[in-house]
Amino acid sequence: MKKLVDLITDEIQQSFEMAGYDASYGIVGLSNRPDLCEYQCNGALAAAKTYKKAPFLIADDVAAKLAGSALLEKVEVVKPGFINIKINGRFLSDYLNQIQNDKDLSIEKVKEPKTIIIDYGGPNVAKPLHVGHLRSAIIGESLKRIGRYMGNKVIGDVHLGDWGLQMGLIIAELRERQPDLVYFDPEYTDEYPNEAPFTINELEQIYPAASAKSKDDDQFKEKAMEATHQLQQGNKGYMALWNHILTVSVTDLKRNYKKLDVEFDLWKKESDAQPYIPDMVKYLKDNGYAHLDQGALVVDVKEDTDTKEIPPCMILKSDGASLYNTTDLATIVERMKLFHPDEIVYVVDKRQELYFTQVFRCAKKTKLVDEDTKLTFQGFGTMNGKDGKPFKTREGGVMRLESLIRDIDEEMYKKIVDNRSVKADDARKTARIVGLSAIKYGDLSNVAAKDYVFDVDRFTSFEGNTGPYILYTIVRIKSILNRYEEEGKTIEKGTILPAAGESEKDLMLETSKFNGIVEQAYEERAPHKICSYIYELSNSFNHFYHETKILSEKDERQKQSWIALLDLVREILETSIDMLGFSAPDKM
């Protein structure tokens, strides 16, 4: 469905042409003075220079051609040449009825669907998820959902860190703690146990202990490096341990991501890219892309237009060892082979921009990706506490994601119990739903690239620009609709009448913006645009609700119209929060 502002623009452009002026001057936008008008065209001001004519005279000529328009209710010229516009109430209600009957709620799907891989999450195995993983998961999940809603094939990949020295550290530490395990017996030939010799809690203690030890104990670090080498050479016992580490870690990661309502299509790992490295390195050498620099194999990626130094992309260290660059490039090779994506989007900390510039340029220059394959860096800022520093526990440590979710759920539970609107049995479940909205909306309502302050008190409030406020609005609408149906009546689509008052028209205008906002959020990869929209839509609904006695209205046709409008608002709000990655309860 065409956007309402585009329909108005078409009408205004025709009038410019009819009046003898170029149609390109007839662009219409939302008014920045809603007290005066709903839409505005400033094209006459720009046209004045071309046509050497006073702008208000040009605007008068255009306005005269708009007389009798079925789309516009009022057109007013204001000096020096603004064209102020109000839309016709009947046209607006008809437009909303079309949205209501459109299975996509007026969204125009992309004409040429793309295959897009979104790389988000990026946790390391054997480590618990902490608040530093939150933004990648939340932003990536929302971008995936928005992309799918627009009609693309979007594949979410968690891309686990499961290779390299961290694995050697764990194996070396485990060997010191439990030297008698069969995995360390070179003479052992039977099947290895199915059950891991550690729990997730033990595993999460082993890694930091080993990491700390390696910094002070050179001998232990050597053992860890040797264990890493043995693992990468295929040592059977170490491979079995590695598989246990993966199984235990991934089970726990899936449990925690589920609490965030984040789902990955792929659980690919760094290790999956390893088989692609030898052929990739040979290809880079044979085709003259890579050369030796102080013993290391590198690809130059600097460009003449660079305003700052862009170092070469290192493929292999001087000792022949691979790096993150190597693995990431091999992962791109794997993705091109398996999925042939039109675009790969990396949702990562914005401080990694230089690194990804090197990797992307290397992949493009060496033709590891097709010429028209886009590689996109979606950098995000840090989540900070009220002190402006990265979010920590009260003791000053890095907060586990599980702990943050639990604390938010507990805060919401207290508020819901105090509200006494939900049965005690349902309060916990409702608290989890509303708590998730507080976390996700609190994050997504900010511009992704900017740092933001995670304020638990503000984010869990039922008032203001928060997730709980949005959900409270949806629940309020659901309650009205339920009571209407309890009267034995049916909600009928396509029965929205022209607005009976200003607050209703304001609500209808906000509702009509949905398609444009989603399109903009998709094109700019900006979930915060959807947050801003549903906040304004919620405000418009609540203003209308407080002014209007909906269910006690005597005119059944009017009541039916209001109910149909509310049902459309509910559907748009619920569709929007689904794109943001959370849902609404039935009661709060």
Q: Are residues 76 and 184 in the same domain?
A: no
Q: Are residues 65 and 200 in the same domain?
A: no
| Number of domains, the chain | 3
* Segments forming the whole domain that contains residue 192: 165-259
Q: Which residues contact 394 (CB under 8 A, 6 or more apart)?
A: none
Q: Are residues 44 and 182 in the same domain?
A: no
Q: What is the pLDDT of residue 18?
A: 97
Q: What is the pLDDT of residue 108?
A: 96
Q: Indicate the SS3 state at residue 268.
A: coil
User: Over pLDDT 70: what percentage of the chain?
Assistant: 99
The model's confidence at residue 384, banded by pLDDT at 50, 70 and 90, is very high
Tell me what the pLDDT averaged over the chain comes to.
95
Q: Are residues 64 and 178 in the same domain?
A: no
Q: What is the pLDDT of residue 261?
A: 97
The predicted model gives 247-258 an average pLDDT of 95
CA distances from 538 to 345, 508, 572, 573 (A): 32, 12, 11, 8
Is the per-residue pLDDT at 396 higher than 80?
Answer: no
Is the per-residue pLDDT at 508 higher than 80?
Answer: yes
- Read off the pLDDT of residues 324-368 as tens digits, 9 standing for 90 and up: 999 999 999 999 999 999 999 999 999 999 999 999 999 999 999
- Asked if residue 507 belongs to a domain, the reply is yes
Q: What is the pLDDT of residue 388?
A: 86
Q: Are residues 79 and 197 in the same domain?
A: no
- At which of 259, 276, 303 does a domain end? 259
Which of 127, 202, 201 minimizes the C-alpha distance to 166? 127
Strands 296-299 and 291-293: antiparallel
Q: Are residues 170 and 81 in the same domain?
A: no
The predicted model gives 506-534 an average pLDDT of 98
The predicted model gives 392-417 an average pLDDT of 87
- At which of 229, 259, 289 does a domain end? 259
- Asked if residue 343 belongs to a domain, the reply is no
The predicted model gives 266-290 an average pLDDT of 96
- Asked if residue 376 belongs to a domain, the reply is no
What one-character DSSP code corresponds to residue 184? G
- Asked if residue 119 belongs to a domain, the reply is no
Map 302-360 to HEC letters. Answer: CCCCCCCCCCCEEEECCCCCECHHHHHHHHHHHHHHHCCCCEEEEEEEHHHHHHHHHHH
Measured distance CA(566)–CA(479) in Å, rounded: 11
Measured distance CA(337)–CA(330) in Å, rounded: 11
Q: Which residues pair with 400 in a beta bridge?
A: 130
Is the per-residue pLDDT at 85 higher than 70?
Answer: yes
Measured distance CA(117)–CA(75) in Å, rounded: 47
Q: What is the pLDDT of residue 154?
A: 98
Q: What is the pLDDT of residue 232?
A: 86
Which H or E element spans position 73?
strand 72-78
The predicted model gives 185-199 an average pLDDT of 94
Residue type present at position 11: E
Is the per-residue pLDDT at 421 higher than 90?
Answer: no
Is the per-residue pLDDT at 290 higher than 80?
Answer: yes
Q: Are residues 69 and 185 in the same domain?
A: no
Measured distance CA(502)–CA(499) in Å, rounded: 7
The model's confidence at residue 390, banded by pLDDT at 50, 70 and 90, is confident
Q: Are residues 79 and 200 in the same domain?
A: no
- Asked if residue 412 belongs to a domain, the reply is yes
Q: What is the pLDDT of residue 395?
A: 67
**Dihedral Cα 12, 14, 18, 22, nearest 10 deg:** 90
The predicted model gives 27-47 an average pLDDT of 95
- At which of 242, 259, 276 does a domain end? 259
Cβ atoms of 427 and 413 closer than 8 Å: yes
**CATH number of domain containing 12:** 3.30.1360.70
Cβ atoms of 538 and 465 closer than 8 Å: no
Q: Which residues pair with 242 in a beta bridge?
A: none
Measured distance CA(452)–CA(448) in Å, rounded: 9
**Phi, psi at residue 199, to the nearest 5°?**
-95, 170
Residue type present at position 564: A
Which of 575, 584, 582 minimizes the C-alpha distance to 149? 575
**Phi, psi at residue 584, to the nearest 5°?**
-115, 145
The reply to whether the predicted model has a pTM over 0.75 is: yes
- Asked if residue 312 belongs to a domain, the reply is no
Is the per-residue pLDDT at 389 higher than 90?
Answer: no
- Asked if residue 156 belongs to a domain, the reply is no
Q: What is the pLDDT of residue 228?
A: 93
Angle in degrees, 0-180, between the axes of helices 424-444 and 556-580, rounded to the nearest 10: 70
Q: Indicate the SS3 state at residue 295.
A: coil
Measured distance CA(362)–CA(364) in Å, rounded: 5
Measured distance CA(254)–CA(234) in Å, rounded: 27
- Read off the pLDDT of residues 73-83 as tens digits, 9 standing for 90 and up: 999 999 999 99
